[in-house]
C-alpha cells in the first residue's frame, strides 16, 4: 500500500497510464463516467437564491443577491447579471493569497460568456421601469473544495441557484417616485434556457470525462462543452492544449448532451420536491 | 477487544507518578493531559512506568527532523547546490512537499572539492538523503548524501528510460547503453525490486 | 425603547429563547477532502466553515516566522451573500483583518506550536451566513477543524457572546440583538482550565454589571464545550466504525 502511494508520488504519469490500460481510472470510474453529483438549494436565507453542488469532492456554493440599479443608457430596458467565481485559499493548498488568480478570472469570464450567449434569463425580464430602474443579479460562486472540473460545478450551481431565486414585487410610489418593495409577494425568475457544462481532458490521445485535480495536472489539454435542453450548443471552450480531431469533438458533444439529460433530471426532481414542501 | 476509550484535548489522563507522557500528550503542573482527539493508549514497559499516549486513526503530518532519512526529488541544480522537494520522511509520504537544498560539499564524504553537481544529480532524480539542519532565515532544509547508502535511487536517462546502477558513480540506460554519471546510493540486496 | 421588544416581560427573547439560552448548534467534522482538517458549524442562523492546512512548509517571508515555533496564519472572510446587504469586499477590509488577527491570537494560545518549528499552520474561516456571533462561530468551527486535522492543542477553545439588557445578562446574541446597540462581550475560553484566551467588550457597561455578564458568557461557553465534545466523540466513533474496528 505504501509502495503504491510511493509510485503515485514519484511517477504519476506511469501510475495513471497503468490504470488507463485497464480502461479505468484511479478512483474506479470508467473513462466516460461522471462523479456523483448532489445538489442542495435554498440553504442560505440571506441570499435571494442559493445552491450548493458537490461533484465528487469538488464543492461549489452559489449565492445570488438582487439589487436595484439604473439600466444602461444604450439599452434602457435591460437589467444586469454579474457572475463572479471565487477560488479562496481554503479550497485547495495550490492557491496563493492575494488578488484573484488567473484561474478564477478565466472561470468568471467563461460564466459571463455563457450567460450572455445562451440567454439563460432575458435581461428584459429584469427591467422594472424602462430607463429608471432594473434588477441587477450578483451571482457569486465560491469554491469550497477544489478537486478538478470547476466549470461544470459552477455552471450547475449557478443554474440551480437561479431556479431558486424569488424576486419580490416592486411598485413605484407615485408621490415620492421611490421604489417600494413588497417582500410578501415573491415570484420566481423565468428561465429561458438551461445550460449545462461537460468538461473533458485530453491525455495520450484519449478523452477522459470529469477530471479530478490530479488528472487535470497530468492532462495535455481540456475541452468544455455547454449544451442547452434542446440539444443545441451554447459554448465550446477549448483553450489551446493538444490537438483534437473533428470526430473526437463530435464524441464530446454527444456525451455532453447525455450529461445534460442527467443533470436536468436531477434538478427537476429537486425543484419538484422543494415545491411539494 | 475492549471498547476503545476516546479522549479529547484538555482531558486530564493521569498524574506524572502513574505514567510517562508519550505522543499526543502534554504535561502541566504534575499531570498528563491529552492534546489530540483519539484513542487513549497505555503501554506498560517491564520495570519502567507505562507510556501514556493518544493515537489517531489517521496519521497526522510528520515534519522532517534533524537526522531523519528523507526521500526527495531534484527540481533544479546549479554549480553550488541542488534544490529538492522532500516527498517522504522515512516511509511516510508528506501531504505537501517541503523544499530542501543539498550543497556541493554535502554530496560526497570524500574528495569534496572535486565534486561536480552536474555529475552527481540531474533534475527529476529521486534521491535518498539525510537532514542535517532545519534551516534558518535564508535557507530551507539542509540535506546531505555523504554516506554510501544515500544518493540517487531512481533516475531517467536522456531517452527517458529508467536507468540501472552499475557502480557508485555510474548508471546505464538499458535501451541506448549510454552511461551517465550520478552519485548512486548503495541499496541493500534485500530491498532490490525487479 | 419602543419598537422591537428584545426581552419580553416573561423573560423571552425575540426568537423565543430565555436569557441564558444558546441558539441551536449543529456541527459536522471532516466535510472536505482536500484540506487536512475541516468543520462546518451552525449556531442558529450563523453558518461558518473552517478549514485547516498544516503543518506544512513556511510560505512567504521566512524572516517573519517565529523561531522554534510554528507560524499560525488565519484568514477570516465573509461570503458576499452572507449579510442582508451584499458585502462588496469578502476579505481584506479592516473588519476582516481585525477578526483574522483575533483568531490568530486566540489560537496561538491554544495550539502547542513548539512541536512544529519552522512550519506553518493555516486556519481559514468562511462565513456563509451571518446572523450575529460571527467571531464566536468562527472560533468554534476552527476548534473542530483543528481537532479533525490532528494538530495538538492544549484544550478546546469555546467562544460565545453576551450582552446586557434591562438588568439581565443575555447569552449568544443574534444579529438583531447586536444591532440594538447595547454592550456586547465576546469571550473565548479554554474550558478545562477555565483560562480566558480572548475577551472583548464594546459599548459602555457599568463595572458592577461586568461579573454577571462575564458569568453568563462563561456558562454559555461551558455548555458549548459539552455540545462540541459530543460532536467530536460521535465523529471519532463513526470514523472508527468506518475503519471496521
For chain A, list residues whose CB is within 8 angstroms of any CB belonging to chain C. 43-47, 50, 57, 59, 61, 63-65, 67, 84, 86, 88-93, 96-97, 138, 140, 142, 144-147, 213
Nearest to A93 among B87, B96, B126 (CB): B96
Q: In what order do the strands lie in the sheet with B12-15?
A: B12-15, B31-34, B25-28
Specify the 3-state DSSP secondary structure of A104. Answer: helix
Q: Which residue in A has a C-alpha nearest to residue B124's C-alpha?
A: A10
Q: Which residue in C has a C-alpha nearest to residue B136's C-alpha?
A: C62
The C-alpha of A244 sits at a distance from chain C's nearest C-alpha, in angstroms, of 31
The C-alpha of C211 sits at a distance from chain B's nearest C-alpha, in angstroms, of 25
Instruction: Output the nine-digit C-alpha cell for C234.
Output: 460521535
The whole domain housing A137 covers 29-276
B87 and B142 fall within a common domain = yes
In a domain, A79, yes or no: yes
Specify the 3-state DSSP secondary structure of B124. Answer: coil
In a domain, B174, yes or no: no
Instruction: Output the nine-digit C-alpha cell for B125.
Output: 532524480
Residue listed under C-alpha cell 532524480:
B125
Is C190 in contact with B10 (Cβ distance < 8 A)? yes
- Contact at 8 Å (CB) between B124 and B162? no
Chain A residues closer than 8 Å to C90 by CB = 86, 88
Instruction: Output the nine-digit C-alpha cell for A8.
Output: 503515485
Chain B residues closer than 8 Å to A10 by CB = 73, 87, 126, 154
User: Judged by CB atoms within 8 Å, which residues 8-37 of B form the interface with A?
Assistant: none
**Per the structure, how many domains does chain B have?**
2
- Contact at 8 Å (CB) between A85 and A141? yes
Residue B117 has pLDDT above 70, yes or no: yes
Cα B186 → chain centroid: 17
B81 and B122 fall within a common domain = yes
How far separated are the first and last CA of chain B, in Å rounded? 40
Nearest to B37 among C112, C119, C236 (CB): C236
Quote the pTM value.
0.88
Residue B173 CA to residue B165 CA, distance in Å, equals 9
Cα A266 → chain centroid: 15
Residue C133 CA to residue C126 CA, distance in Å, equals 14
The enclosing domain of A102 has a CATH number of 3.30.230.70
Return the partners of chain C (3 or more C-beta pairs < 8 Å): A, B
Mean pLDDT of B59-78: 85
Is B63 in contact with C192 (Cβ distance < 8 A)? no
What CATH number does domain C25-242 carry, 3.30.230.70, 3.20.20.140, 3.40.50.620, 3.40.50.2000? Answer: 3.30.230.70
Specify the 3-state DSSP secondary structure of A163. Answer: helix
Residue B150 has pLDDT above 70, yes or no: yes
In a domain, A174, yes or no: yes
Is A10 in contact with B73 (Cβ distance < 8 A)? yes
Nearest to C86 among A138, A144, A146 (CB): A138
B107 and B84 fall within a common domain = yes
Average pLDDT score, chain A? 88
**Per-residue pLDDT at C87:** 79
B48 and B77 fall within a common domain = no
What are the strands, taking DSSP E only, across A204-253? 206-209, 221-227, 233-237
- Ramachandran angles phi, psi of A20, nearest 5°: -65, -30
Residue C38 CA to residue C28 CA, distance in Å, equals 9
Is C35 in contact with A145 (Cβ distance < 8 A)? yes
User: Judged by CB atoms within 8 Å, which residues 3-42 of C form the interface with B?
Assistant: 36
pLDDT grade for B74, boundaries at 50, 70 and 90:
very high
Read out DSSP for C10-56?
Answer: TS-BTTS--TTPPPPEEEEE---SSSSEEEEEEETTEEEEEEEEEEE
Is C150 in contact with B58 (Cβ distance < 8 A)? yes
Residue B105 CA to residue A58 CA, distance in Å, equals 46
Is C49 in contact with A64 (Cβ distance < 8 A)? no
In a domain, A133, yes or no: yes
Residue A248 has pLDDT above 70, yes or no: yes
User: Judged by CB atoms within 8 Å, which residues 85-144 of B form the interface with A?
Assistant: 87-88, 91, 93, 96, 126
Residue B155 CA to residue B62 CA, distance in Å, equals 26
Is B26 in contact with C112 (Cβ distance < 8 A)? yes
> Over the stretch A10-51, which tens digit does the pLDDT of each residue have?
778 888 888 888 888 888 888 888 999 999 998 898 899 999
In a domain, A20, yes or no: no
The set of residues, in sequence order, having a beta carbon less than 8 Å from that of B12 and lying 6+ positions away, is B31, B32, B33, C192
Residue B17 has pLDDT above 70, yes or no: yes
Q: What count of Cα atoms within 13 Å lies in the side-chain half-sphere of residue B162?
A: 7
Chain B residues closer than 8 Å to C52 by CB = none
DSSP β-ladder status, A80-86 and A133-145: parallel
**Per the structure, how many domains does chain A have?**
1
Q: In what order do the strands lie in the sheet with B179-181?
A: B164-165, B170-172, B179-181
Chain A residues closer than 8 Å to C83 by CB = 46
Nearest to A10 among B91, B96, B126 (CB): B126
In a domain, B183, yes or no: no
Task: Inform me whether the C-beta atom of residue C87 falls under 8 Å from chain A C-beta atoms.
Answer: no
B47 and B73 fall within a common domain = no
Residue B99 CA to residue B80 CA, distance in Å, equals 16
- The torsion of the CA quartet C202, C204, C205, C207, rounded to 10 degrees, works out to 100
Read out DSSP for chain C?
Answer: --SS-SB-TTS-BTTS--TTPPPPEEEEE---SSSSEEEEEEETTEEEEEEEEEEE---S-GGGSPTTSPEEEEEEEE-TTSSSSPPS-SSSSHHHHHHHHHHHHHHHHHB-GGGSTT-EEEEEEEEEE-SS-HHHHHHHHHHHHHHHHT--BSS--EEEEEEEETTEEEES--HHHHHTT--EEEEEEETTTTEEEEEEEES---TTTHHHHHHHHHHHHHHHHHHHHHHHHHHHHHHHHHTT-
Residue C1 has pLDDT above 90, yes or no: no
- Contact at 8 Å (CB) between C226 and C21? no
- Ramachandran angles phi, psi of A117, nearest 5°: -75, -35
Mean pLDDT of C98-117: 90
Chain C residues closer than 8 Å to B8 by CB = 147, 156, 229, 232-233
Evaluate the CA torsion angle C127, C132, C135, C136 in order and state its sign.
negative
Chain B residues closer than 8 Å to A5 by CB = 93
Residue A17 CA to residue A7 CA, distance in Å, equals 12
Residue C143 has pLDDT above 90, yes or no: yes
In a domain, B50, yes or no: yes
Nearest to A140 by CA among A126, A160, A121, A154: A154
Is C124 in contact with A90 (Cβ distance < 8 A)? yes
By residue count, chain C amounts to 245
Residue B138 CA to residue B149 CA, distance in Å, equals 29
> Over the stretch B91-107, which tens digit does the pLDDT of each residue have?
888 878 888 999 998 88
Is C149 in contact with B60 (Cβ distance < 8 A)? yes
The enclosing domain of B125 has a CATH number of 2.40.50.140
**Per-residue pLDDT at A97:** 78
> Over the stretch A140-158, which tens digit does the pLDDT of each residue have?
999 999 998 999 999 999 9
Q: Percent of chain C beyond pLDDT 70?
A: 97
Nearest to B118 by CA among B174, B173, B48, B180: B180
**Per-residue pLDDT at B189:** 62
The enclosing domain of B51 has a CATH number of 2.40.50.100
The C-alpha of B46 sits at a distance from chain C's nearest C-alpha, in angstroms, of 28
Mean pLDDT of C112-139: 91
- Contact at 8 Å (CB) between C157 and C228? no
Return the partners of chain B (3 or more C-beta pairs < 8 Å): A, C
The C-alpha of A9 sits at a distance from chain B's nearest C-alpha, in angstroms, of 8
In a domain, A23, yes or no: no
Residue B193 has pLDDT above 70, yes or no: no
Chain A residues closer than 8 Å to C33 by CB = 57, 145, 147
Judge residue A162's burial from the number of C-beta atoms within 10 Å of its C-beta, 0-12 exposed, 13-18 middle, 19 or more buried.
Answer: buried
> Over the stretch C80-93, which tens digit does the pLDDT of each residue have?
998 888 877 777 78
Is C57 in contact with B24 (Cβ distance < 8 A)? no
**Per-residue pLDDT at A209:** 92
The whole domain housing B89 covers 69-153
Amino acid at each position: 500500500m505504501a509502495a503504491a502511494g510511493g509510485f503515485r508520488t514519484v511517477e504519476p504519469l506511469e501510475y495513471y497510464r497503468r490504470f488507463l490500460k485497464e480502461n479505468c481510472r484511479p478512483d474506479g470510474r470508467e473513462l466516460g463516467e461522471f462523479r456523483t453529483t448532489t445538489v442542495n438549494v435554498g440553504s442560505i436565507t440571506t441570499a435571494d437564491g442559493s445552491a450548493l453542488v458537490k461533484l465528487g469532492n469538488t464543492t461549489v456554493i452559489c449565492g445570488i443577491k438582487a439589487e436595484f440599479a439604473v439600466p444602461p443608457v444604450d439599452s434602457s430596458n435591460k437589467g444586469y447579471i454579474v457572475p463572479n467565481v471565487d477560488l479562496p485559499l481554503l479550497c485547495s493548498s495550490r492557491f496563493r493569497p492575494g488578488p484573484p488568480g488567473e484561474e478564477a478570472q478565466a472561470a468568471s469570464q467563461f460564466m459571463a460568456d455563457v450567460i450572455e450567449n445562451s440567454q439563460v434569463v432575458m435581461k428584459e425580464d429584469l427591467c422594472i421601469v424602462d430607463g429608471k430602474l432594473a434588477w441587477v443579479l450578483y451571482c457569486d460562486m465560491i469554491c469550497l473544495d477544489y478537486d478538478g472540473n470547476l466549470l461544470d460545478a459552477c455552471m450547475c450551481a449557478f443554474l440551480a441557484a437561479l431556479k431558486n431565486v424569488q424576486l419580490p414585487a416592486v411598485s413605484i410610489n407615485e408621490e415620492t417616485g421611490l421604489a417600494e418593495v413588497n417582500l410578501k409577494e415573491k415570484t420566481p425568475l423565468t428561465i429561458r434556457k438551461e445550460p449545462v457544462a461537460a468538461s473533458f481532458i485530453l491525455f495520450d490521445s484519449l478523452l477522459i470525462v470529469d477530471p479530478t485535480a490530479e488528472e487535470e495536472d497530468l492532462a495535455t489539454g481540456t475541452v468544455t462543452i455547454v449544451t442547452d435542453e434542446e440539444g443545441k450548443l451554447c459554448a465550446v471552450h477549448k483553450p489551446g492544449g493538444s490537438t483534437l480531431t473533428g470526430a473526437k469533438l463530435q464524441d464530446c458533444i454527444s456525451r455532453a448532451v447525455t450529461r445534460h439529460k442527467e443533470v436536468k433530471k436531477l434538478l427537476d426532481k429537486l425543484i419538484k420536491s422543494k415545491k411539494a414542501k | 477487544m475492549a471498547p476503545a476509550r476516546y479522549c479529547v484535548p484538555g482531558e486530564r489522563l493521569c498524574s506524572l507518578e502513574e505514567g510517562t507522557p508519550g505522543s499526543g500528550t502534554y504535561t502541566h503542573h504534575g499531570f498528563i493531559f491529552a492534546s489530540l482527539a483519539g484513542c487513549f493508549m497505555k503501554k506498560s514497559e517491564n520495570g519502567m512506568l507505562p507510556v501514556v499516549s493518544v493515537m489517531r486513526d489517521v496519521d497526522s503530518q510528520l515534519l522532517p527532523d534533524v537526522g531523519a532519512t528523507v526521500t526527495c526529488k531534484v527540481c533544479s541544480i546549479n554549480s553550488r547546490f541542488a534544490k529538492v522537494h522532500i516527498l517522504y520522511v522515512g516511509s511516510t509520504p508528506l501531504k505537501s512537499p517541503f523544499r530542501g537544498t543539498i550543497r556541493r560539499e554535502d554530496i560526497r564524504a570524500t574528495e569534496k572539492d572535486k565534486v561536480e553537481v552536474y555529475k552527481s544529480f540531474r533534475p527529476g532524480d529521486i534521491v535518498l538523503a539525510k537532514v542535517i539542519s532545519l534551516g534558518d532565515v535564508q535557507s530551507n532544509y539542509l540535506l546531505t548524501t555523504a554516506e554510501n547508502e544515500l544518493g540517487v535511487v531512481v533516475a531517467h536517462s536522456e531517452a527517458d528510460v529508467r536507468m540501472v546502477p552499475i557502480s557508485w558513480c555510474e548508471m546505464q540506460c538499458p535501451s541506448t547503453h549510454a552511461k551517465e554519471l550520478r552519485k548512486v546510493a548503495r541499496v541493500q540486496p534485500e530491498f532490490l525490486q525487479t | 425603547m419602543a419598537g422591537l421588544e428584545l426581552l419580553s416581560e416573561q423573560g423571552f427573547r425575540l426568537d423565543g429563547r430565555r436569557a441564558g439560552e444558546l441558539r441551536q448548534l449543529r456541527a459536522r467534522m471532516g466535510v472536505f477532502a482536500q484540506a487536512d482538517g475541516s468543520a462546518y458549524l451552525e449556531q442558529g442562523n450563523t453558518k461558518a466553515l473552517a478549514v485547516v492546512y498544516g503543518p506544512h512548509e513556511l510560505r512567504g517571508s521566512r524572516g517573519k516566522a517565529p523561531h522554534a515555533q510554528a507560524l499560525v496564519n488565519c484568514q477570516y472572510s465573509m461570503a458576499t451573500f452572507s449579510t442582508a446587504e451584499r458585502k462588496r469586499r469578502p476579505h481584506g477590509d479592516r473588519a476582516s483583518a481585525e477578526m483574522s488577527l483575533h483568531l490568530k491570537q486566540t489560537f496561538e494560545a491554544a495550539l502547542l506550536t513548539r512541536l512544529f518549528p519552522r512550519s506553518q499552520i493555516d486556519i481559514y474561516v468562511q462565513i456563509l451566513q451571518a446572523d450575529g456571533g460571527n467571531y464566536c462561530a468562527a472560533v468554534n468551527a476552527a476548534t473542530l477543524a483543528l481537532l479533525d486535522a490532528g494538530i495538538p492543542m492544549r484544550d478546546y477553545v469555546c467562544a460565545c457572546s453576551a450582552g446586557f439588557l434591562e438588568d439581565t445578562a443575555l447569552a449568544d446574541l443574534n444579529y438583531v440583538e447586536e444591532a440594538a446597540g447595547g454592550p456586547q462581550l465576546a469571550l473565548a475560553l479554554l474550558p478545562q482550565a477555565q483560562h480566558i484566551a480572548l475577551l472583548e467588550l464594546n459599548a459602555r457597561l457599568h463595572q458592577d454589571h461586568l461579573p454577571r455578564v462575564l458569568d453568563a458568557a462563561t456558562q454559555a461557553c461551558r455548555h458549548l464545550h459539552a455540545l462540541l465534545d459530543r460532536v467530536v466523540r460521535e465523529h471519532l466513533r463513526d470514523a472508527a466504525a468506518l475503519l471496521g474496528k
